[in-house]
């Protein structure tokens, strides 16, 4: 019997809507900005959230991360 790996997706909501996503597959968290630019792959959700934040405009409040 094969164990299926379920992907998890977090949406990052800013004041104007979704600013990016984090998708968990296998052992990585992949960050993609809302303009479809891939930021990179990270080992944990916290590191991925920080990476997404670092690609937002300076002074932008931390987005609300919601699991989809």
pLDDT band at 3 (very low <50, low <70, confident <90, very high): low
Tokens standing for residue 68 = 């989809």
Res 23 pLDDT > 60: yes
Nearest to 21 by CA among 5, 3, 36: 36
In this prediction the pTM is 0.87
Task: Name the residue with higher pLDDT: 4 or 43.
Answer: 43
- Judged against a pLDDT cut of 70, whether residue 5 lies above it is answered with no
Range list of β-strands (E), 26-63: 28-33, 38-42
Residue 24: which residues within 8 A CB-CB, separation 6 or more? 7, 8, 9, 10, 30, 45
Beta bridge mates, 24: 8, 29
Confidence tier at 6 by pLDDT (50, 70, 90):
low
């Amino acid at each position: 019997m094969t164990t299926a790996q379920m992907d998890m997706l977090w949406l990052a909501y800013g004041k104007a809507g979704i600013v990016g996503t984090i998708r968990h597959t296998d052992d990585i968290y992949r960050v993609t900005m809302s303009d479809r630019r891939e930021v990179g792959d990270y080992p944990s959700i916290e590191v991925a959230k920080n990476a997404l934040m670092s690609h937002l405009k300076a002074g932008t409040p931390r987005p609300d991360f919601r699991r989809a």
